[in-house]
Structure 1
Amino acid sequence: MGVEFGLLGPVEAWDSEGAPLPLGAPRNREVLGRLLIARNRVVPVGRLVADLWGDEPPAAAIGAVRTFVAALRRALEPGRPPRQPSRLLVTDGPGYVLRAGREAVDAWRFEDSATRAVAAPPHAAVALWDEALARWRGPVLADFPDAAWAAAEQARLEALRLDAVERRADALLATGAARDAVADLRAHVAAHPGREDGWVLLATALDRSGRRGEALESLRHARVALTDRPAGGHGPGPALARLEARILSGTSGSGAELAGVADGVWGRASAAWERSVPARSRARLHATAGLLRDLAVTGADGLEEAREHRRELVAAAETTGDDELAARIIGSYDVPALWTRADDPADAGELSRAAARAVARLGPGGPPTLRARLLSVVAVESRGDAAADAPLPRAADSPAAEPWRLRAERAAEEAVRIARSLADPAVLAFALNGAFMQSFATCGSAARRAAIGGELARLAAGHEIPGHEVLGRLIRLQACAGLGDLDAADAEAEEIDRLAHRNERPLAGVFTSWYQALRICETDGWAAARPRYEEVLGTTANCGMPGLTGGAGALVALIPVMRGEALPDPDDFARVDAGPYRPWLHPLLLAGAGATEQARQALAVVPRPPHDLLQEALWCVLARAAATVGHVPVLRRARDELAAAAGESAGAGSGLVSFGPVAQHIRAADRALEDRDRPGDRPGQR
């Protein structure tokens, strides 16, 4: 509509000629800023009241918000005829939404320019970074520096700006324009002395400008600045030492020279390794473990290769007879793990048992770091029922202790306890991954998982462990989706995609693409989401994670069934592979086919759903089948299990599918149980 908005500085709006629009009082600007950071999502009136006035709003707060909105509408659309609805600031359900395209908001245009710059060659990248940074007029939402509602967006965009400054300087160095980068980098590190990358870039630019002494002096300043950081800093990293060594040796090189170095280093280094390191040596075992850990995050092919060769490597380490060596090999694989069904359950179970054996051999007096890592392996690899050493209990039976689950839960708890005492962020990140995998003892654990994910993301961000920061945010995305907080989940998805792109974590996009389909389903319904689900099923079928994709088509096919009240048409599932979910889907399909007695027999022997991200969804499936055919034991058990998740959406905590509010399924179970208990029921069905 020709209106442009500004967040990168004071809140502003301009007409199609670039003239400022008269937004009026500060409260009007505050409402506009709050709606803009919602990014085309509805902000309920109650949320606006809470954000503007805090815990004690005045009695007339809602009326005041409506007044602010009316004033904004007049300012933003001065030519709109009376009584014609606004097309820009729209009333939608319980609140308001500002309909703005990405090209209309300076912050969003900044992000888009930055995205293009990252993928561009150096000369083009410099121009794009200049374009992106030119959009900044001052601090984000500068007229509301202390507003709690603005804090997260201010921090996020400021982090992107600092990254843009450093990436622009990096691009300048790559073009050979080192002198042009120096002045901006001096200002950058003066304002942000805790940015190690900034110091490295400044010293590099000075050195390449022929100012070697100044480069070395800047590195000395960097060490002081990084050592004096407030609590939470970790002093200078290895990058400073490596750069100083290159400068002193005179081998720091030009941007063009450095750009071509990596192409040949790998081949020469690997050839030297083959010549220098004896076959079957312990050094090869250690190096192979590190290689597999890095390989696992490169994409589908790397993940599959790493999974297959890891088993062989662990077996080789155990045959050496060196217990500590075997323990270190087993405990070194701290690859972030999100999906709670193992890709190869038998393999995962064996790895869990190998880690448990290593813990036992080391004994309680073994190195605590190694013990924490091994216990984390036990917790992570025991996800779901991978470590089960006995038949799974039946869903029709009363809950009972399962020894293999208790062992895994205790391993997770002890790993976290040891890691906290060590104050080692990498070990704690691994232990929190195990704690997440063992956080499914009961239904309704989304709030606990949100807390774990939040701690993991903060820990990893503060200590530059990008893989685990992505993991922590993915855990939060799932948990927020399960709790129905889609705005928070959206924010996590956006940050995950940014981090994954920057740190080359392509598999993270598998989960955010599934979440986008789930979100469409939650907000726009199954009909709108169906094409997106068909797309995501196709694009992620070969992502290297069969534990995630196996049977996913059946889960998607269940969405319209479980979000309604009907039974499935078995013909709709005739060509769908239910994969690992077949035991829990089978009774419902039998009920849908009218095979009541067969469905009851299947319910009598079906195992309880796995303790994983889909346990609420599968209990809902069993409850629907049991209510239909009158299998009261399974119906009561399902209802009892689901009670703790009454405030969640069934399955949405997986980030894949949602079967609607758990409370709705509980009410259906209650109605079925009441019907069964009325006089005149058939006695055999109680």
Structure 2
Amino acid sequence: MRVVEFGVLGAVAAWDGSGEPIALRGPRHRAVLARLLVARRKVVPVPRLVEDLWAGDPPADAVGAVRTFVAGLRRALEPERPRRTPSRLLVTEGPGYALRTEPAHVDAWRFEHTVAAAAGLSPAQAAPRLTEALELWRGPAYADFAEEPWARAERSRLAGLRLAAVERHAEARLALGAAADVAADLDAHVAEHPWREDGWQLLAVALYRSGRQADALSVLRRARELLREHLGVEPGPRLSRTEQDILRHAGHLDPGPTGAAAQVWAEASASYESMVPLRARTRLESTAVLMRDLAVTGGGGLEAARRHRAAAVAAAEQLGDPQLTARVIGVYDVPAVWTRSDDPDQAARLVGAAERTLRLLPPGAHEAARTRLLATVAVESRGILPEGTRALQAAHQAVAGARRLEDANLLVFALNGLFMQSFERAGLSARRDGIGAEIAEVAARHGLFTYEVLGRLIRMQAHSATADFAAADGHAAAADALAERHELPLVAVFTTWYRALRTAATEPPHRGEAAYREAARSLTGAGMPGLEHGLLPLALLCLRLHHGLPVTADPHTDWGPYEPFVRPLLLLAEGQERDAVRLLAGVPEPPGDLLYEALWSLLARAAIQVGDRALMRRARSALEPARGELAGAASGLLTAGPVADHLDTLAAAFTVHAS
């Protein structure tokens, strides 16, 4: 389904998946869209739409006009939707309409989620998350509907959240030592919003930490006068306490970041900022190195790292220096364990840049740079079949090059690429276990802890596939211990899901469902949409399939990339066999990734139910090499039960249809 992004933090707008604006026709069309966005996925009855659009004085054909506006919006938002097929975005439900967009596709909802996720983070982690959230604002919320009563409460709520986020952002930056910059920003903030006591208090602290004690006290006096003038109230205890703390030079107001490490960082980064020229090529390489480290700090760090890495690569290419570009691309050797890209378009651009740079490097030179570029091609080209593709070739070349160079860092990166390309058929968990074992051994010997974690997670996946949960438990525990020691919070996402898989495979279904739902909580704020999108409903469906339970699903479930492989079973559960047959006739080959066997198991069950012998044969051929494994368990996340059970069911179905 086409991705549509909606913006309400400013004028109401919509963009397609490439970032191009979508024309929303006239003001009434925009008003309908805005009103549905205010409702936050809930149904707005047509009479309510009429009342809100015409403010109690509707024309005689108002209901028909609303339907016309909705039809126009549907054409704009889903131009490729076949005629007479129901919209899956702007839906008709009961007495009205609802916009069933995902929370991640509305800037205001993303803003709220990001701010909430930053609440429990350290200042170093929270500051970039809050920066990201505040950058979403293009102007006042629902700016083109400022006078509409139906938008007033939501506009006010979002404005309040933004002001609180500005102050929390300032607080985080203060903790990181940016007092002078924070003081300048907060001065403008309190001038525009003089009733914000938190803003005044933070401004006073920022001025004090900048060595401006007199200015800090003056600000507090000005705050007291303005609060009395505007609101007729005395300042709260926090402002009074801050004034007393400044007068007695309280220790907790000591300027600058706290702790030796924070002080070193602040001084070093300030020196770098002043000494390295703004457009120096060194900055691009430094950015790439920093993004490599940022990517393993958590969800916000991972998202920011991807974004800034892509920008750094593009900037390096523009400079026309292939050796610089090779270094900027290749230094980002962040371990990758999940085989579906978080941002396929960006990954394709990175692969393209790596391939162009490979062609531009002088022949016979820069072997290490070439090897890193080949490893990048292999890592970023995920989920590709069949054997013999460029990505698999690049993986083998990278491993061979790293072995020739006897470079441990390069070897584990290249082996990561080989792991990503080890899915040309089912049943290859033993091969991947070998790759994981070598990565873990080399990494442990050379102190490469992020790759030691990767090797452990790969082995955890491989042993899950063969239901060797004792061995998988050991690797999960080792990965958790390394993650705790080296502050790698994202590792827990994979080990938590593994334990849910183990529960689903060994305990009653209700326990498995509870474990999966609990594991899904770990994905909140993890910054891994390629993993998160559609995973929980797929896990629950596979659980039901494994235990022989009826297939059920909420009609509004977002299956993400798994939709083509799930939809036939759902249609059959609803008695829509003809539609299921039609979909199965054109179903794509499951991608070569960690869920290959699971998706084939779903297709096999659907093919059996409709008697599609050709698809049954394809499923049997695809699954047979994995007969001794649990379907999907190679992911370390979910399982649809033993592959042998699915193969036996296929064999029985062939016998029935033959007779």
TM-score range, shorter chain: 0.5 to 0.7
Which residues in structure 2 correspond to 1:490-505 (within 5 Å)?
490-505=473-488
1:320 matched to 2:301: no
5 Å-filtered alignment, 1:49-448, equals 260-362=259-361, 364-385=363-384, 406-448=389-431
1:671 alignment partner in structure 2: 652
> 2:457 maps to which residue?
474
Residues in 2 aligned to 1:573 and 1:616: alpha-carbon distance in whole angstroms: 24
Q: Which residue pairs with 1:594 in the alignment?
A: 575
1:263 shift after superposition: 2.2
Query: What do the CA deviations read for 1:607-657 (whole angstroms, capped 9, x no partner)?
Result: 100100000000000000011011222111011000100010001110111
Counterpart-to-counterpart distance in 1, 2:512 and 2:547: 15
Could you give the per-residue CA deviations for residues 510-556 of structure 1, whole angstroms, max 9, x where no partner exists?
A: 00000111111222132222222111112323211011111012212
Q: Distance in 1 between matches of 2:584 and 2:616?
A: 10
Whole-Å Cα distance in 2 between the matches of residues 567 and 262 of structure 1? 56
State the aligned residue count.
Answer: 403
Q: Is the 8 Å Cα contact of residues 554 and 573 (structure 1) preserved in structure 2?
A: no
Larger mean Cα displacement after TM superposition, 513-522 or 457-466: 513-522
Decide whether aligned partners of structure 1 residues 536 and 317 sit closer, same or farther in structure 2, where only a CA change above 3 A counts.
Answer: same
1:520 and 2:503 matched: yes
Post-superposition shift, 1:671? 1.3
Partner of 1:626: 607
Identity within the alignment, %: 49
Letter of the structure 1 residue corresponding to residue 608 of structure 2: A
Counterpart CA distance in 2 for 1:496 and 1:438 is 23
Residues 170-219 of structure 1 deviation map (CA, whole Å, 9 limit, x = unaligned): xxxxxxxxxxxxxxxxxxxxxxxxxxxxxxxxxxxxxxxxxxxxxxxxxx
Residues in 2 aligned to 1:374 and 1:650: alpha-carbon distance in whole angstroms:
33
Give the match for residue 460 of structure 1: 443
* Deviation of the 1:564 alpha carbon: 3.2
Residues 330 and 376, structure 2, Cα contact 8 Å, conserved in 1? yes
1:567, distance to aligned residue in structure 2 (A): 4.8
Aligned-partner Cα distance in 1 for 2:578–2:471: 45
**In 2, Cα distance between equivalents of 1:308 and 1:289:** 11
In structure 2, how many angstroms separate the alpha carbons of the residues matched to 1:402 and 1:521?
A: 31
> Aligned residue for 1:555?
538
Instruction: Write out per-residue CA displacement over residues 637-686 of structure 1, whole angstroms, 9 at most, x where no aligned residue.
Output: 011000100010001110111111001101111111222222xxxxxxxx
Which residue of 601, 606, 610 maps to 2:591? 610
Note the C-alpha offset of 1:484: 1.1
**Equivalent position of 2:222 in the other structure:** none
Which whole-Å CA distance do the structure 2 matches of 1:584 and 1:262 have between them? 50
How far residue 279 of structure 1 moved from its aligned partner, in angstroms, is 1.1
CA contact (8 A) 1:526 1:559 kept: no
Taking the aligned partners of 1:520 and 1:553, their CA distance within structure 2 comes to: 15
The offset of 1:295, in angstroms, is: 0.4
| Alignment partners' CA distance in 1, 2:536 and 2:611 | 28
CA contact (8 A) 2:504 2:515 kept: no
Aligned-partner Cα distance in 1 for 2:651–2:318: 57
Q: Is the 8 A contact 2:339 2:594 kept in 1?
A: yes
Q: Aligned pair 1:584/2:565, yes or no? A: yes
CA-to-aligned-CA distance 1:17-70 (integer Å, 9 cap, x gap): xxxxxxxxxxxxxxxxxxxxxxxxxxxxxxxxxxxxxxxxxxxxxxxxxxxxxx
Q: Match of 2:332, SS? A: coil
> What secondary structure does 1:573 align onto?
coil
Q: CA deviation at 1:506?
A: 0.7
1:137-189 residue CA offsets vs partner (Å, 9 max, x unmatched) = xxxxxxxxxxxxxxxxxxxxxxxxxxxxxxxxxxxxxxxxxxxxxxxxxxxxx
Cα distance change on mapping 1:566 and 1:530 into 2, 3 Å: closer
Counterpart-to-counterpart distance in 2, 1:444 and 1:326? 38
Matched with 1:32 is: none
1:575 offset after TM fit, Å?
Answer: 3.6
Distance 1:573 1:625 in 2: 19
Q: Distance in 1 between matches of 2:590 and 2:265?
A: 47
AA aligned to 1:673 is: F
CA RMSD for the aligned pairs? 1.6
Q: Is the 8 A contact 2:372 2:414 kept in 1?
A: yes
Equivalent position of 2:555 in the other structure: 574
Residues 200-254 of structure 1: CA deviation (Å, up to 9, x unaligned) = xxxxxxxxxxxxxxxxxxxxxxxxxxxxxxxxxxxxxxxxxxxxxxxxxxxxxxx
Q: Which residue of 630, 650, 654 maps to 2:635?
A: 654
Alpha-carbon distance, 1:363 to partner: 5.2
- Equivalents in 2 of 1:456, 1:655: separation in Å? 18
- Counterpart of 1:655 in structure 2: which amino acid? G
Contact kept, 8 Å, 1:296 with 1:307, in 2: the verdict is: yes
- How far residue 412 of structure 1 moved from its aligned partner, in angstroms, is 0.3
Opposite residue 629 of structure 1, the aligned amino acid is V
1:394-449 residue CA offsets vs partner (Å, 9 max, x unmatched): xxxxxxx859x610000000000111111100000100000000000001110001
Q: Is the 8 A contact 1:557 1:573 kept in 2?
A: no
For the residues of structure 2 that align with 1:260 and 1:597, how far apart are their CA atoms?
A: 67
CA deviation map 1:580-628 (0-9, x unaligned) = 1101101111111111111111011111001000000000000000110
Cα separation, 2, equivalents of 1:592 and 1:530: 20
Conservation of the 8 A alpha-carbon contact between 1:311 and 1:351: yes
Shift of 1:576: 2.3
3-state DSSP of counterpart to 1:542:
coil
Distance (whole Å) between structure 1 residues aligned to residue 283 and residue 443 of structure 2: 29
Conservation of the 8 A alpha-carbon contact between 1:379 and 1:438? yes
State whether structure 2 residue 530 is matched by structure 1 residue 531.
no
Contact in 2 for aligned 1:553/1:576 (Cα 8 Å): no
Residue deviations 1:262-313, cap 9 Å, x none?
Answer: 2211111111111111111111011111000000000000000001111111
Deviations along 1:460-507, whole A, 9 cap, x unmatched? 000000000000000000000001110000001111111000011111
Aligned-residue offset at 1:364: 4.2
The residue type equivalent to 2:595 in the other structure is: L
Over residues 86-117 of structure 1, what are the superposed CA-to-partner deviations in whole Å (9 max), with x where a residue is unaligned? xxxxxxxxxxxxxxxxxxxxxxxxxxxxxxxx
Distance 1:363 1:485, change over 3 A: farther
SS in 1 for 2:297: coil
Question: What do residues 316-368 of structure 1 show as CA deviations (whole Å, max 9, x unaligned)?
Answer: 00000111111111111100000000001111111112111111222541311
Q: Which amino acid aligns with 2:311?
A: E
Residue 341 of structure 1: SS of its match in structure 2? coil
Supply the distance in 2 between the matched residues of 1:560 and 1:573 (Cα, whole angstroms).
16
For residue 57 of structure 1, what is the aligned residue in structure 2? none
Kindly indicate whether the alpha-carbon contact (under 8 Å) linking 2:501 and 2:637 is maintained by their aligned counterparts in 1. Answer: yes
CA distance in 2, matches of 1:364, 1:338: 32
Alpha-carbon deviation of 1:566?
5.1
Normalising by structure 1, report the TM-score. 0.57
Aligned equivalents of 1:564, 1:534: Cα separation in 2:
17
Tell me the SS of whatever aligns to 1:665.
Answer: helix
The match for 1:645 is 626
Q: 1:508 & 1:539 partners in 2: Cα distance?
A: 10
**In the alignment, residue 650 of structure 2 is paired with which amino acid?**
A
Contact 1:567–1:588 (CA under 8 A) maintained in structure 2? no
Q: 1:293–1:334: 8 Å Cα contact kept in structure 2?
A: yes
